[in-house]
């Protein structure tokens, strides 16, 4: 049984990653188009190209991590090595140089590629740690729940403070571009400290059967390609990230140009920051529910039901009227959708650890880093297409990025679709993929028992 401090320590790692991930996912499209000064088309292509590069680099990092050997373990040292570069790269990404448009575009490509490369170098090994901290499938779900609870907590903090930080820096006399940069610097410093805490509190306890043998990279890739459960989880993860990145990334545009000065009552305004922060708290409630519900229904069934709920209530969002009562309804729907969504991610990470065991059982090599890198790769693919799709659709609907623009009815319709039916389609695809995922608790039981024997007899 793992100690509580390790579960908390493991959670600190994704608390850090998620703070930057949510800012990138929810605010970076808006930053590039409305603050940095890129056209919608240039911003869309930038997000797509850089995130696709980032996705392709994930398996490379997984292979490197699988072949790392230090006194701190295989995966854990990357938390220590990458903490400071993680913070610095984030600040550079949100820096707007006083150059011409072409030079600024080159800067944007270079800094965002750097940021996502550093993110990969830290986050892929961090995710793979789940496979070597415990070999108990149920305890992995517990670790995943701690991870996601802290992740959503970090996201809440980042989303709750980011806009107020920007406003505070503007109020102190800094330009809008400087305000965005300094706000990211403050968040990045906290991220760096959290990675140090994760490194200090965690340990690697499980040594896979194949550990110590530097097998063929080609053999590992062939084993991955033949791993049927991995393919289904890959599809589910991409679709789920499409859902999250589209809904989250469209929120800044939706509340600026569609909701506008939405009043909840008592002088409280409904803003994108408030809306997204409430969602993060609800995500945390969903994470808490994931363990007891999955123990009763199984990981697979729980995931499918949660995605079905997310799809249904996301579609309902399209029909909420613009009124004080409608603003409260938006918040209520956000809570329900986010509770359902929050249940899915600890289950997904836990299932990836099960897939690594399945690979070790069948091929003698778990390739834990490579398999977990695929989950990160799926995040990047989903995020890449989601962020680019937001900007392409806004351009297609005639969205005007100028600060004083009055949007056309077509553009407002596009914003409503980006917050409702389009992300709901991602939920349906994710649920359908997991319907085909074969590693139920009943099928995993003999695999876990056999691997335990092999590890004891090694």
Report residue 192's pLDDT band, with 50, 70 and 90 as the boundaries. Answer: very high
Residues 155, 248: Cα–Cα separation, whole Å: 12
Look up the pTM and report it: 0.70
* Domains, in order of start, for the chain: 4-456 (1.20.1250.20)
Q: What is the pLDDT of residue 103?
A: 93
| Overall average pLDDT of the 162-170 stretch | 92
**Per-residue pLDDT tens digits for 7-38:** 999 999 999 998 988 888 778 888 998 899 88
Q: How far is CA 389 from CA 30, 34, 90, 240, in A?
A: 13, 17, 23, 15
**Per-residue pLDDT tens digits for 306-326:** 999 999 999 999 999 888 888
Q: What is the pLDDT of residue 172?
A: 93
Q: What is the pLDDT of residue 334?
A: 95
* Whole-number CA gyration radius for the chain: 21
Q: What is the pLDDT of residue 246?
A: 87
Report residue 226's pLDDT band, with 50, 70 and 90 as the boundaries. Answer: confident
Q: Are 234 and 374 in contact (CB under 8 A)?
A: yes
Q: Does position 413 have pLDDT exceeding 50, yes or no?
A: yes
Name the least confident of 70-79, 242-251, 354-363: 354-363
Q: Does position 212 have pLDDT exceeding 50, yes or no?
A: no
- Residue recorded with tokens 């903090």: 157
Report residue 364's pLDDT band, with 50, 70 and 90 as the boundaries. Answer: low
Q: What is the pLDDT of residue 265?
A: 58
Q: What is the pLDDT of residue 367?
A: 67
Bridge partner residues of 268 (DSSP): 265
Q: Are 368 and 356 in contact (CB under 8 A)?
A: yes
Q: Residue 271: which H helix or E strand, with range?
A: none
Residues 156, 438: Cα–Cα separation, whole Å: 34
Q: Does position 404 have pLDDT exceeding 70, yes or no?
A: no
Q: At what angle do helices 4-30 and 228-254 cross, to 10 degrees?
A: 50
Report residue 208's pLDDT band, with 50, 70 and 90 as the boundaries. Answer: low
The three-state secondary structure class of 428 is helix
The three-state secondary structure class of 73 is strand
The 8-class DSSP code of residue 317 comes to G
Q: Does position 85 have pLDDT exceeding 90, yes or no?
A: yes
Q: What is the pLDDT of residue 365?
A: 62
**442, two tokens:** 């009943």
The three-state secondary structure class of 216 is coil
Q: Does position 59 have pLDDT exceeding 70, yes or no?
A: yes
Q: Does position 294 have pLDDT exceeding 50, yes or no?
A: yes
Q: Which residues 6+ apart lie within 8 Å of 150 measured at CB?
A: 8, 11, 12, 14, 15
Q: Chain-wide mean pLDDT for the chain?
A: 85
């Amino acid at each position: 049984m793992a100690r509580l401090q390790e579960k908390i320590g493991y959670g600190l790692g994704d608390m850090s990653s998620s703070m930057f991930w949510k800012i990138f996912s929810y605010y970076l499209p808006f930053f590039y188009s409305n603050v940095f000064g890129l056209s919608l088309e240039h911003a869309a292509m930038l997000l797509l190209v850089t995130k696709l590069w980032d996705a392709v680099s994930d398996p490379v990092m997984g292979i490197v991590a699988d072949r790392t050997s230090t006194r701190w373990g295989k995966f854990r040292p990357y938390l220590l090595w990458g903490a400071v570069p993680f913070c610095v790269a984030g600040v550079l990404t949100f820096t707007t140089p006083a150059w011409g448009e072409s030079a600024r575009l080159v800067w944007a490509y270079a800094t965002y590629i750097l940021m996502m490369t550093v993110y990969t170098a830290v986050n892929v090994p961090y995710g793979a740690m789940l496979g070597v901290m415990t070999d108990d499938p149920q305890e992995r779900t517990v670790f995943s729940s701690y991870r996601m609870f802290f992740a959503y907590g970090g996201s809440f903090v980042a989303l709750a403070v980011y806009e107020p930080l920007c406003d505070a820096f503007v109020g102190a006399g800094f330009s809008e571009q400087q305000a965005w940069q300094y706000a990211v610097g403050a968040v990045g410093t906290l991220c760096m400290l959290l990675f140090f805490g994760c490194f200090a509190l965690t340990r690697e306890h499980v040594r896979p059967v194949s550990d110590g043998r530097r097998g063929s990279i080609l053999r590992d890739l062939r084993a991955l390609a033949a791993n049927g459960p991995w393919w289904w989880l890959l599809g589910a993860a991409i679709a789920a990230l499409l859902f999250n990145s589209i809904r989250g990334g469209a929120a800044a545009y939706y509340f600026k140009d569609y909701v506008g000065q939405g009043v909840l009552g008592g002088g409280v305004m409904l803003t994108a920051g408030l809306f997204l922060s409430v969602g993060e708290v609800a995500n945390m409630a969903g994470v808490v529910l994931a363990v007891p519900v999955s123990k009763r229904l199984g990981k697979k069934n729980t995931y499918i039901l949660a995605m079905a709920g997310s799809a249904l209530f996301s579609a309902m969002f399209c029909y909420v009227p613009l009124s004080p009562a409608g603003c409260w309804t938006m918040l209520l729907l956000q809570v329900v959708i986010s509770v359902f969504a929050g249940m899915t991610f600890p289950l997904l990470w836990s299932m990836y650890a099960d897939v690594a065991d399945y690979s070790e059982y069948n091929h003698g090599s778990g390739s834990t880093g490579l398999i977990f890198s695929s989950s990160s790769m799926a995040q990047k693919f989903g995020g890449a297409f989601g962020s680019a799709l937001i900007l392409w659709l806004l351009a297609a609907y005639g969205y005007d990025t100028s600060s004083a623009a009055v949007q056309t009815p077509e553009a407002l319709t596009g914003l409503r679709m980006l917050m409702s039916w389009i992300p709901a389609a991602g939920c349906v695809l994710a649920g359908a993929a997991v319907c085909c995922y074969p590693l139920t608790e009943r099928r995993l039981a003999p695999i876990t028992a056999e691997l335990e024997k092999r590890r004891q007899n090694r």
